[in-house]
Structure 1
Amino acid sequence: MRDPLITYCLSKKAAAEDYPFGPLPLVMKVGGKMFALITITEEKVSHISLKCDPVIAENLREQHEAVQPGYHLNKKHWNTVAIDGSLTEADVHDMIDHSYDLVLKSLPKTQRLAISQRLV
């Protein structure tokens, strides 16, 4: 059975999983660009790195111990979130949505339109 966070990421329009670094970590992409980097330990997600507006990223880090600057990523634009039960599922989903939306907005207009017109 798939981890619910992976399933949620794949539910986003045109989301695709990729393994550019080997069998782990799992990378979620939209339009060929990464919006989530997922660390899996013991068959479940232990950490998820997500793109984030720099101001929001700082606020999240101040509010939640589980949210840290992106591990091996641009620390201004990425957060790494420990999936340790301290954040609600809704909070993590909101962070995934924000990351996905930022990456989607960065794509060329024609690509964004093609994705928005997909039914799945």
Structure 2
Amino acid sequence: MRYEWIDEYCLDKKGVEKDFKEEWNATRYMVRGKIFVMLGGDKEGTPIITIKCDPSFGRFLRDEYEDIIPGYHMNKEHWNSIYIGGKVPDEVIKQMTDMSYSLILNSLSKKIQKEILER
């Protein structure tokens, strides 16, 4: 599988929890219960990674890479799905993952952010 490093990359971030949502057949990476990356499949079962991004950056990426589409079963403005069998460079996926983690972390209260970052 391409992007086999994604599990370790997500789990290396502070405060990250991982679970498997059986009903969705998806592995979720979360901060305080808020998803920032999800590994699953589309309606045909084709493997995808779904990542939250700033809307303008997400639109740019979808224009740049045919293997990035609006988030499958997610808010199409904020979420993007990447076909794992595609040709999106690792560095782009890492940049998207870092952005998603920051967006979720910054959505939490300052107190919770401090608790997470000081661990």
Q: TM-score range by the shorter chain?
A: 0.7 to 0.9
Give SS of 2:116's match: helix
Stretches of structure 2 that go unaligned for 5 or more consecutive residues are none
Equivalent residue, structure 2, for 1:32: 33
Task: Write the letter of the residue equivalent to 1:18.
Answer: D
Equivalent residue, structure 1, for 2:66: 65
Equivalent residue, structure 1, for 2:14: 13
Task: Write the letter of the residue equivalent to 2:37.
Answer: A
Give the TM-score normalised by structure 2: 0.86
Deviation by residue 1:43-85 (Cα, 9 ceiling, x = unmatched): xx93110111111111110001111000000001100011224
Give the TM-score normalised by structure 1: 0.85
Give SS of 2:92's match: helix
Aligned residues: 112
State the Cα distance separating 1:108 from its structure 2 match. Answer: 1.0
Percent identity of paired positions between Structure 1 and Structure 2: 36
Stretches of structure 1 that go unaligned for 5 or more consecutive residues are none
- Conserved in 1, the CA contact under 8 Å of 2:24 and 2:40? no
d(CA) in 2 for partners of 1:11, 1:69? 26
d(CA) in 2 for partners of 1:5, 1:34? 14
Runs of 4+ in 1 over 6 A off after TM superposition: none
CA RMSD, 1 decimal? 1.7
